[in-house]
Amino acid sequence: MTTKLLIDSVSKLYGAQYAVRDFSLSVAEGEFVSLLGPSGSGKSTVLSMIAGLNRPSAGRILIDGTDVTNLPANRRNIGLVFQNYALFPHQTVARNVAFPLKVRSLPEVEIAERVAEALRKVRLEPFAERYPDELSGGQQQRAALARAIVFEPDLLLLDEPLGALDRRLRESLRHELRSLQRQTGITTIMVTHDQEEALSMSDTIVVMSGGRAEQCAAPEELYMRPQSRFVAEFIGSANVVPGDALAPGDPAALFAIRPEAVRFHSAPASEGALTGTVNATEYCGNYYRLYLSVDKVGEMTSHLQLAHPPSLGSQGYVSWSQADMHPLRHPA
């Protein structure tokens, strides 16, 4: 596949402090990539360097094979959507969307056609003459998105685009956003701290911590085969078990076991099952979360679909399949 964006060993220093350190990423044409991590992990700094709003201290950024590292933001053909949408309050929706085209001095007839098409794609045609404060949060988000795609950018950058919306609206709009991205084929980079958002929308996720990329992989790969303790515990939840607690061996070996793979039984269901005690339970809708004390291992959690949870203090047996033990190649 054609490489659309190449980030080559980019770092960003503020004084003696690294915000981003030796970060590399290759993004294919039409790919949807999420930069996922906690606050301060460097994900927004990476996005700002791609946009040209921040210059790297080291490394290169290439778009379509052209080095744009030192190119100012207004000379990069990039669409950008912020969490607060940044719409002009004194301009109608149509004029907000038209703004990037007017800056590029396109003919008025072409501007009108492109604006109408962009509003159609985001289902805002009936709201063309309204002002931003007359729109709901979701409608403002779609207006900002229309403005970002109306000039057919090389890249679309999304900085926590759904962060200002309530959960129910976020779930609806993330589906719309992903559908629009597939429809237009625009290569997209999204910054988010929301694991569910990244897992449901992305072709590829880059998990970041401390200015570095911890792991870059497809959502399924990240969840099922995390490479580090940080990734295992940040993507969903995980029980991190030392190998020597289960069998003699390398005391540094660690394994991640997802809670849904952990079973709790009143009688031993398999050879090698460990004894465990229920410390607490939580009702989570379609499953119960059990907090367990497990012999040789310590604290573990289990997600079980049960009619009724075991009572507190219940003793039983804890087991999981060896296939559900995922080795962590480095412990960070």
Return the pLDDT at 245. 65
CA distance 212 to 200: 23
Same domain (yes/no): 55, 192? yes
Structure tokens at 135: 């729109």
Residue 246 pLDDT > 70, yes or no?
A: no
**Mean pLDDT, residues 281-297:** 94
Return the pLDDT at 176. 86
**Mean pLDDT, residues 107-121:** 96
Same domain (yes/no): 51, 9? yes
Residue 296 pLDDT > 70, yes or no?
A: yes
More confident residue, 127 or 174: 127
Percent of the chain with pLDDT over 90: 78
Same domain (yes/no): 73, 9? yes
- Four-residue CA torsion sign, 113, 33, 73, 7: negative
CA distance 297 to 286: 27
The owner of tokens 């002009």 is 88
Same domain (yes/no): 193, 242? no
Instruction: Give the CATH number of the domain where residue 22 resides.
Output: 3.40.50.300
Residue 84 pLDDT > 90, yes or no?
A: no
Residue 332 pLDDT > 80, yes or no?
A: no
The answer to whether the beta carbons of residues 331 and 229 sit under 8 Å apart is: yes
What are the tens digits of pLDDT across the range 199-239? 999 999 999 999 999 999 999 999 999 999 999 999 988 99
The answer to whether the beta carbons of residues 319 and 265 sit under 8 Å apart is: yes
Same domain (yes/no): 156, 55? yes
**Mean pLDDT, residues 10-23:** 95
Same domain (yes/no): 206, 257? no
- φ, ψ of residue 205 in degrees (nearest 5): -120, 135
Residue 331 pLDDT grade (very low, low, confident, very high; cuts 50, 70, 90): low
Return the pLDDT at 251. 59
Same domain (yes/no): 51, 103? yes
- pTM, full prediction: 0.90
Return the pLDDT at 167. 78
Instruction: Give the CATH number of the domain where residue 300 resides.
Output: 2.40.50.140
What are the tens digits of pLDDT across the range 250-280? 557 889 999 999 999 987 767 778 999 999 9
Range of the domain at 59: 3-231
The owner of tokens 């729109």 is 135
Percent of the chain with pLDDT over 70: 96
Residue 330 pLDDT grade (very low, low, confident, very high; cuts 50, 70, 90): low
What are the tens digits of pLDDT across the range 140-168? 989 999 999 999 999 999 998 887 677 77
Taking residue 315's Cβ as centre, other Cβ atoms within 10 Å add up to 11
Same domain (yes/no): 161, 270? no
Which alpha helices (DSSP H) does 72-121 contain, by range? 93-103, 108-121
Residue 52 pLDDT grade (very low, low, confident, very high; cuts 50, 70, 90): very high
β-strand partners of 192? 36
